[in-house]
Chains A and B, each alone.
Chain A
């Protein structure tokens, strides 16, 4: 049995180290966001179904995540205002996805502000990651 505080410490250390490591796996993001979400909701467990709903719905603004990324994580998207192609979001279809903290945090930060007018919560991010990981190629 590992103590809770040791687990928290390890998660924190992983978070710090990730700023320097470049190769991460989608599962790393899932567990990290899940761990963060459990700090305020101990029973939290990521749900791909919730992730899909979150991703494909609008949140008071004009855009949903799907406006640029489509409703299919394995498909190529298209930027809503510039028309530029966006490679698929599912790691199974595009191995470059969910592989770097820098990229993932940067885009969650920007895109959540554009779509929700605020940052995404760790729970929302965990759900989205779970859904993207679930997607076949």
Chain B
């Protein structure tokens, strides 16, 4: 409690472990943050209502759970025929994060925006993220990656392409 240095070192270590646990191969010095979404069927089927999210941002169990419940997908019917669903599940699982993304109850998380990695990377005050920005008129939802990551639809999350809309602003 009294010694600040070990506390900070511990925090840094804890963060490193958390990042490792998320299984993300994202080094901070890496300029290009291109994540693989390179699969035509995945991009067209899972990129029609929102951007095609990078498979690397959730664990394999999460993707399997999501693909098993597409008829009730976050309040929308996103059901697919069995054949297409199997092809897409294969792609997602093969490119998933190395570690599972589970919630505190041990069940697989279905939202990238609920993972510990995401919350840390997008915490208030970090690189221009202001409280309430995700609920603002311009962003609406943390799932709306493209509101800030201008090339998210291409799987590109590089820092230089981030533009945070003004809080509450319309765009």
Chain A residues in contact with chain B, CB under 8 A? 79, 81-84, 106, 109-111, 113-114
Binding site of A, secondary structure by majority: helix, strand, loop or mixed? helix
Contact segment of B10-18, B54-62, B139-147:
B139-147
Knowing A82-B141, A82-B143 touch, does A110 contact B50 (C-beta < 8 A)?
no
User: Taking the nearest CB of chain B, how far is it from the CB of A68, in angstroms?
Assistant: 9
Instruction: Decide yes or no whether B79 CB sits under 8 A from chain A.
Output: yes
Judging by beta carbons under 8 Å apart, are B77 and A114 in contact?
yes
Judging by beta carbons under 8 Å apart, are B141 and A81 in contact?
yes
Using a CB-CB cutoff of 8 Å, which residues 73-127 of chain B contact chain A? 74-80
Provide the residues of chain A in CB contact with B140, threshold 8 Å: 82-83
Provide the residues of chain B in CB contact with A82, threshold 8 Å: 49-50, 140-141, 143-144
Judging by beta carbons under 8 Å apart, are B50 and A79 in contact?
yes
Instruction: Decide yes or no whether B51 CB sits under 8 A from chain A.
Output: yes
- How does the 8 Å CB contact mask read for B128-148 relative to A, with 1 for contact and 0 for none? 000000000000110110110
**A113 to B73, alpha carbons, bound, how many Å?**
12
**A33 to B79, alpha carbons, bound, how many Å?**
22
**A114 to B49, alpha carbons, bound, how many Å?**
13
